[in-house]
Amino acid sequence: MVVLVLSLLISSCQPGNQEIQQSTATATVQKTATRTPSPMPTATPTQTPTPEWLLPLSELEEVELVFTHPWSGDLKLVIDKLVDLFNQTNEFSIFVTVDAPGSAQQVFQQTEADLRNGDGPQVVVAPIEELAYWHQNENLVVLDPFVNDISYGLSTEVTEDFIPLFWEQDVIDKKRLGIPVTRNTNFLLMNASWAKEMEINMAGMTPAVLKNQLCQARDVLVNDNDWRNNGMGGWIVTQDEYTILNWLNTFQLSEFPVSETPYPFDQPATLEAYTYLREIFDEDCAWNARNPTHYEYFVNREALYISADMYDLDPVSKTFAFLESEDQWQVVPYPAKDGKPELIIHGDSMGILESNPAQEFASWLFVRWLSMPEQQIQIAQANPGLPVSQSILDHVSANRSAQWKQVVAYLDTAKSAPRTAEWRVARFVLQDATYQIFLANITPDQYPQIIGLLDTIISDLRDQPATLGWE
């Protein structure tokens, strides 16, 4: 739907189980009739109001929940085992059923359909922009009262162990919408052995430096004895939303808002990024590949750089082994106009959808349990992405690849991906706009018009009801 709208517009231009005990004691100051100093009042506990969500624990008995997540493979198997363990051991006989549609897109579509039918799920794993969308539509439970509760919340030890950036990503307008569970980031992979042979200097990674490297790789293949690789060598064009976002960030796109204020993509940075990408493409320093995965091109020295994320690291490593290449390769952040590259972090969090008080309380107890280190370490070991807690990150790093550790080394300079509901539609509009800028019949002098349409289209689409064909 998004693609169609934009294409038409472009073409026109060409816890413990104890209930909280209430204290009735109040602090008083003794008055005296003499000039002798009054004794200091003894500190006494202040009265703590009973949270609205706190039900008699008896009402949690045999509450049933549906837990929807996007994972597959090893991580799905781990989640299945963890849920079975929770069902067998939780003291309230809460029973959780797992629903795994197979992808983040399917989670959103199925959850939207369920919400329209008034039928679950109660706990959902989704990126923050989708949690924000459900919050906008009053379908999501704000988690601050649960997280901060003295008896049933998360301890300071647990919350302070979350990597600060990851923990803050789920807060919008000072409201916590989710609990982080996995994180991912996008970057470039460079064939370091090939770069060394070409005597490429990695110092000061700016767009101009990267362009010189890409064009140098192109020249090597143009001047070899194989005509079939002419036009290859540089970066393989990739148009997923986070690759595009990184290119915009390269040219210093303004910081993303953390509220529902509309975000402008019609900025000089967008025009600079698109102009740069088209320039390296027209000069054959970037090229389109036929195969949907770029691993073999990378291993065979047909691309000096490819775009990737955490989930690509293992397949790339296996491709090097399969093709018996001894080349060394490494992670490189996207370049930065100011010479200070940074990663953009995104990922999944656990949210609780509105249901009834018993299910919401039970949902929190399940989310809290799944957030504990004992469970999180099992999730982290089965997930190629980044753990959300520092202690677990340190623990699993020992068994991860050199490239995985290179990503971790860049986390100190990382920033968050967009955190608002608007990004849910903006990412698809950006993808379509990027597709347009590589078309032969679209010239760079049309880019301002294309970019000018971005914000209008995003604004028109952001408030439309989601449908099954939305994403």
Q: What is the per-residue pLDDT for 62?
A: 85
Please enumerate in sequence order all residues whose Cβ is within 8 A of that of 334, keeping only pairs 6 or more positions apart, or say none.
186, 187, 188, 246, 247, 249, 250, 341
Listed range (28-32, 54-58, 195-199) with the worst mean pLDDT: 28-32
| Closest to 232 measured CA to CA, from 331, 329, 308, 298 | 298
Evaluate whether 386 touches 187 at the Cβ level (below 8 Å).
no
Residue 217 pLDDT level (bands cut at 50, 70, 90): very high
Q: Give 46 or 235, the one with higher predicted confidence.
A: 235
Report CA torsion sign: 460, 462, 466, 471. positive
Q: What is the per-residue pLDDT for 50?
A: 57
Separation of alpha carbons 190 and 312, rounded Å: 13
Q: What is the per-residue pLDDT for 99?
A: 95
DSSP code per residue over 150-181 = TTTS--HHHHHHB-HHHHHTTEETTEE--EEE
Q: What is the per-residue pLDDT for 117?
A: 86
The CATH architecture annotation of domain 185-345+419-462 reads 3-Layer(aba) Sandwich (3.40)
Average pLDDT, the chain: 87
Q: Does residue 285 carry a pLDDT above 80?
A: yes
SS3 25: coil
Residue 229 pLDDT level (bands cut at 50, 70, 90): confident
DSSP code per residue over 338-383 = TS----EEEEEEEEEB---HHHHHHHHHHHHHHTSHHHHHHHHHH-
pLDDT single digits (tens) 12-53? 444 443 333 333 333 333 333 333 333 433 333 434 455 666
Q: What is the per-residue pLDDT for 53?
A: 62
pLDDT single digits (tens) 312-370? 999 999 999 999 999 999 999 999 999 889 999 999 999 999 999 999 999 999 999 99
Q: Give 60 or 471, the one with higher predicted confidence.
A: 60
Evaluate whether 64 touches 95 at the Cβ level (below 8 Å).
yes
Angle (CA) 16-18-24 rounded to 5° is 130
Angle (CA) 63-67-72 rounded to 5° is 150
Neighbours of 32 (CB within 10 A): 9
Neighbours of 79 (CB within 10 A): 22
Q: What is the per-residue pLDDT for 66?
A: 96
Neighbours of 295 (CB within 10 A): 21
pLDDT single digits (tens) 367-422? 999 999 999 999 999 999 999 999 999 999 999 999 999 999 999 999 999 999 99
Q: What is the largest CA-CA distance in the chain?
A: 106
Q: Which residue has the tokens 């849910």?
A: 424
Q: What is the per-residue pLDDT for 262?
A: 80
Q: Does residue 116 carry a pLDDT above 60?
A: yes
Residue 154 pLDDT level (bands cut at 50, 70, 90): very high
Q: Does residue 298 carry a pLDDT above 60?
A: yes
13-16 long-range contacts (CB < 8 A, ≥24 apart) are 13/446, 13/449, 13/450, 14/441, 14/442, 14/446, 15/151, 15/152, 15/365, 15/368, 16/151
Would you kindly state where each structural domain of the chain is located, as residue ranges? 58-184+346-416, 185-345+419-462
Q: Does residue 287 carry a pLDDT above 80?
A: yes
Cα 110 off chain centre by = 20
CATH superfamily of 58-184+346-416: Periplasmic binding protein-like II (3.40.190.10)
Evaluate whether 333 touches 187 at the Cβ level (below 8 Å).
yes
Question: Which of 104-108, 196-200, 347-351 ranks highest by mean pLDDT?
Answer: 347-351
Q: Does residue 451 carry a pLDDT above 90?
A: yes
Separation of alpha carbons 464 and 216, rounded Å: 47
Return the structure tokens found at 158: 């647990």
pLDDT single digits (tens) 239-280? 999 999 999 999 999 988 787 778 899 999 999 999 999 999
Q: Does residue 470 carry a pLDDT above 90?
A: no
Q: What is the per-residue pLDDT for 55?
A: 64
Domains 58-184+346-416 and 185-345+419-462 agree in fold: yes
Q: What is the per-residue pLDDT for 467?
A: 54
Return the structure tokens found at 99: 């629903």
pLDDT single digits (tens) 160-192? 999 999 999 999 999 999 999 999 999 999 999
Q: What is the per-residue pLDDT for 249?
A: 96
Q: What is the per-residue pLDDT for 51?
A: 62
Q: Does residue 453 carry a pLDDT above 60?
A: yes
Evaluate whether 131 touches 170 at the Cβ level (below 8 Å).
yes
Q: Does residue 74 carry a pLDDT above 50?
A: yes
What are the beta bridge partners of residue 416?
345
Separation of alpha carbons 56 and 19, rounded Å: 8
Return the structure tokens found at 305: 């750089």
